[in-house]
Structure 1
Amino acid sequence: MEISEGTVSVRGRRTWYRIAGPWPAEGTRPPLLVLHGGPGVPHGYLTDLDDMTSSGRTVVYYDQAGCGRSDPLDDPAEWTPDTFVEEVGAVREGLGLDRVHLFGHSWGGMLALEYALRRPPGLASLVLAGTCASVPLLASEVRRLMDRLPAGVRETLARHEAAGTTDSAEYQEAAASFFTLWMCRLSPLPEHVARASAAVNAELYGAMLGAEWNITGTLADWDVTERLGELDRPVLVTTGRYDEITPAVVRPLVEGIRGAQWMVFEESAHLSTAEEPERYRAGLESFLSRVESDAQHP
């Protein structure tokens, strides 16, 4: 598999990218530009999508500012969606991605929505994987999931969060109870997922989101539900059957976007790309190919 790496400049910072497949992209298939989650989790957990190259598709990843191999994002005033939206545009411009399919997972899906709602040219389609249109709605559903954990686990999490000792082994063990149910059901975690999870920028994550089950960051009030009708591109929404992104979170997203397709992966939680990689790639490629066929034969 051909792999290309490099950096593009965004406000004097270097954003690092990795490209799987032919570069420049060949043929008529637009590349897939991948926006990872977090905020602050490097892209590596999504690299099961590399195998999309077997069908001739080029896949472009990058580490968002402040994480992975990209430069730090030191000014907390920049820890906002606007900063990351600007970065998407800079990556596209720097790499000459005139026409792309935009894939966003979790926070990356929220970022993809923010970007798409600004009507940039050249978006062939939007893929929203395990994401939401409303953080307040997500927060209420995650609290409902938390209530299903044993009382002792909930008490441990609350005690350490109140004390500011979330780096303790006891807290991490309690948190794992949530993650193994609704984040990734594979045990042990695949190496690339574990590696990305261990490399999270916890400060950036905490400032913008907070704890997974206690959202207190700058994204706490983020909600674009009322604007979903503005989207005018083909949209695929994907979730896992056991995803923390529950059906109650997804329905307003799907119903708010004209013609949106919803695909559920029955053996997955939040990381369907890693939990059911072959099924995921097949479903995604089917969608992308149909979009391209429709564009050629409207």
Structure 2
Amino acid sequence: MKVSEGYMPYLGNKTYYRTVGECQEGKKPLILIHGGPGSAHNYFELLDDYREDGRMIVMYDQIGCGNSAVANRPDLWHARTWVDELIALRNHLELDEVHLLGQSWGGMLVIAYLCDDQPKGVSSAIFSSTLPSALLWKQEQRRMIKFMTEQEQAIIQETEVTGAYDNPAYLAVNAKYMALHAADAISDESPEPLRRPKGSGAEAYLTAWGPNEYSPTGTLKDFNYVDRLSQIEIPVLLTSGTDDLSTPLINKTMVDRLPKARWELFAHSRHMPFLDEKERYKRILLDWLNQHD
């Protein structure tokens, strides 16, 4: 397996990237854009075997996290920083013709890129468990919180009043919420890429999003492209799970407005169907890419 790693200069810092495999004739690279903001590329290494399709897989750590971690730069943590980084990476690696897969926040980044920059050379996009509106996301998270026990809801409400987000009782409730709708807590049984230590992106997440998934208070709190989705004319595949933070309502909102969209709902998945239902996700995604090369 051919794996290449490197760094791209960006805003006086450096952006880490990793490529797997090579493109055969007629196949276009797939760029994987991770969530957060402030997560890292690590979980995308679970998709390394997609190279068997004969295409290059490109992943990177967005500035502010992982191998691209930067401390004490709250001025950087807004959407434009990360959109411009994607543009710079495409130029740096000479990725003229590509497919883009954005997961969670990464999908928001792709939506903003497609609407605001109208880039050339994007054959298709995959919106993986993402959102077009921070307000809609908040609305849906608050709805799902109502299915938790009254005591758990009270702990969340009290924490939001006090701001004591390091309270062990709150941390336990939030961890339960994330296990229900995002992914299991990391353990010794987790795949190695998930267990691997990574540079913290906490500052980027807190500044751009907020203290948790259901409280968008940062620079992305007004993110709203619902009424602009009709501008995205390339084919778009939406993927999400029935128990996902990215709820069926959120995905229905997108698919109804995208001119060329297909939606695959994964019955046994949360926020990462490519992990919870790996083989089905792989089959669907590779079929999609081959149809739109």
Please state whether the residue corresponding to 1:90 is helix, strand or coil: helix
CA distance in 2, matches of 1:235, 1:63: 23
Q: Which residues of 2 match residues 1-298 of structure 1 at below 5 A? A: 1-22=1-22, 25-72=23-70, 74-117=72-115, 118-184=117-183, 190-192=190-192, 194-195=194-195, 200-210=200-210, 211-292=212-293
Specify the SS of the correspondent of 1:215.
coil
Look up the SS of the partner of 1:270 in the other structure: coil
CA distance in 1, matches of 2:256, 2:196: 32
Which residue identity is paired with 1:205? Y
SS of the residue 1:214 aligns to: coil
Instruction: For residue 163 of structure 1, report the CA deviation from its aligned partner.
Output: 3.2
Amino acid at match of 1:243: D
Q: Describe the superposition over 1:57-93 as per-residue Cα deviations: whole angstroms up to 9, x where unpaired.
A: 2110000000000141643222111111100001001
Secondary structure of 1:190 counterpart? coil
| Pair 1:178–1:259, CA change in 2 (3 A) | same
CA distance in 1, matches of 2:106, 2:13: 20
Shift of 1:139: 0.6
CA contact (8 A) 2:74 2:203 kept: no
1:197: Cα distance to partner?
9.2
CA distance in 1, matches of 2:193, 2:150: 28
Aligned-pair CA distance for 1:121: 1.1
Shift of 1:159: 2.9
Q: Is the 8 A contact 2:101 2:107 kept in 1?
A: yes
Deviations 1:132-172 (A, max 9, x none): 11111111011000111111122223333433332343322
Q: Deviations over 1:178-208 (max 9, x none)?
A: 0111112688572357437975422211111
CA contact (8 A) 2:69 2:199 kept: no
Aligned-partner Cα distance in 1 for 2:232–2:71? 30
User: Distance between the aligned counterparts of 2:5 and 2:197, measured in 1?
Assistant: 21
Residue 92 and residue 257 in structure 1: after superposition, are their counterparts in 2 closer, same or farther (change >3 A)? same
Structure 1 residue 46, shift from structure 2 partner: 2.2
Q: Structure 1 length as normaliser, TM-score? A: 0.91
What one-letter code is carried by the residue in structure 2 that aligns with 1:144? R
CA contact (8 A) 1:237 1:262 kept: yes
TM-score normalized with structure 2 length: 0.93
> 1:32 and 1:82 mapped to 2: Cα distance?
22
Q: Aligned in 2, Cα 1:181/1:71: closer, same or farther, shift over 3 Å?
A: closer
Structure 2 unmatched runs, 5+: none
Is the CA contact 2:66–2:199 (under 8 Å) kept in the aligned structure 1?
Answer: yes
Looking at structure 2, the residues matched to 197 and 156 of structure 1 have their Cα atoms a distance apart, in angstroms, of 30
Q: In 1, are the aligned partners of 2:105 and 2:130 still within 8 Å (CA)?
A: yes
Residues 66 and 198, structure 2, Cα contact 8 Å, conserved in 1: no
Percent identity, please. 34
Partner secondary structure for residue 69 of structure 1: helix
Q: CA RMSD in A?
A: 2.0
Which deviates more, 117-126 or 153-162?
153-162
CA deviations on 1:81-116 (whole Å, 9 max, x unpaired) are 111110000100111111110000000000011111
Q: Give the C-alpha shift of residue 279 in structure 1.
A: 1.1
Instruction: For residue 124 of structure 1, report the CA deviation from its aligned partner.
Output: 0.9
Structure 1 unaligned runs (5+)?
293-298
- How many residue pairs get aligned? The number is 290
AA paired with 1:137? L
**Does the CA contact (< 8 Å) of 1:46 and 1:273 recur in 2?**
no
- Is the partner of 1:258 in helix, strand or coil? coil
